[in-house]
Structure 1
């Protein structure tokens, strides 16, 4: 192996005949992640030593980013093989239990799904996904733009796997979620001070009023944050516990990671990456859809009852757009704004699309 020490430092922590555990330090960004490189044995009983090693390494890694990549020699899911079959084998179940114990999931990927082939000629041969790149939630949160690429295997039986970590990506735009969290953090500090004041002077009316005011503001802000994250995560409300914020943060991060498109192939077969991806999409759909000069309005009538039915069929807590208003808002105020919404929708479908 070789690497540029000015860019990364690699420390080998431990190794066995099936896995090498490393710590990688990205020098310029001062970020670190654990990486385990796997080359599993053929017989499933021999792989049990590997699963045991990985589970024990979970304790060592703790709450730090961790990636596991390489040749696992067994499929994780039924859809990872073209050989058919509807039953999970013992080897697959043991692999699944290990992955669940480590709380790993596949890194967002592009390229081939099946990473191993056994002479895929004519009607014969088998394709399987037995090479993977997986990471824990902490890695996904820390390296949100990381993605795996599985290249063509060509004359070989395995697909080369590449983990790309664009650590230099930086955005100066602060999200609405960031502003909410910052506001809650400030309220939390103010509430702490108010409770200290109340504790030192429990009979002070000013202290009691200040505490009551801040407690109400804090609870409202926490509820607003949960509602925002719930809308963004696009899942139904969970009736468990008093605060689901950490859960929704996890779901949002996971969805962003899975849905983030970092690599595409243009019409000429060229691979486009990074900040050139949006321009590639614009170019493709411009060529595909053409300009607006020849567009025509839809001549099928859009009935008011159909519009209302479509909106009322959406879940109460679903967000209709970037303004954040939920369907519940439109339902509860339909007698006031319903006619306006119908006119806007009908007007949209009655005119040609213009620039």
Structure 2
């Protein structure tokens, strides 16, 4: 036990986990893309879709990254390499993270189960299921609208032409498929991986340390309780983790941004969740489990839901997770970047920090404005 072990486990290995978790997704996506290209089917799909996609500033080949974005933006942005035209490729990269990926799903499910009743409408549709479908549609519509706007903003002297020779149908070359899988996975690990590990370590430091002797005071506070074998030490350890998170640099930052996020209906606890979930969106659920002292962690979703539902605003005394706050929070996660892996891969694909910073900025602004409007209208 000690700082070095914590750094290796929660900083470095957690960062490596954030890299390796994408390898199967990247390998599988590029295997299918390679098969579609080798068989000659991809050329026909992109040809059919080009006329529709070009109206919003995209390319026929943008279909694959956009569909792949429903699973994960990281391999989808890498798949945009197949787009020859620079402007079309940049627009595709900039809007793909708006498509709701699988990492948003745990957040949507948690919030929908809090604010939307499980009722049947029109005899066959579940209201919670419809709400989830609407969130996916919101992401797709936002991606299309932003692409259309960027068509006029991003300038290039290069004209966009769609010229393609339609190859004959044939069996895929499996050696080529395997090589593509290997190369794409290796590129992600060694290029984007460096940025992911760096950000992961920074987030670990912010969540594991606090100013002054706050952590030592918390340890002393619970020292006798932890030594008492007649008590539930697991619950006490959970309380220690909760207090330490609140008094860490991340916790203090969550308190500091509360005035800025209060108009969205959020308190400092949600603020901490927004910061920690930059590592990965689904980390929001785990952070809520820690903040609300849930012994079972992020797997005990029913207890997390109960604690969040019972949470009261310290200033107003009213429930924190109202319908207005829930919709506001889901819209924030629908539009905000909140994913260090996506930032890293955009940096890798664009070979600089200009486009990742622009993307992070415009998506955060979109998320804030959408959440603000939703909360102010619904409260």
Max Rg structure: 1
Higher relative contact order (CA 8 A, sep 6+): 2
State whether TM-score is above 0.5.
no
TM-score (normalised: structure 2) = 0.25
Greater helix percent: which structure?
2
TM-score (structure 1 length as normaliser): 0.27
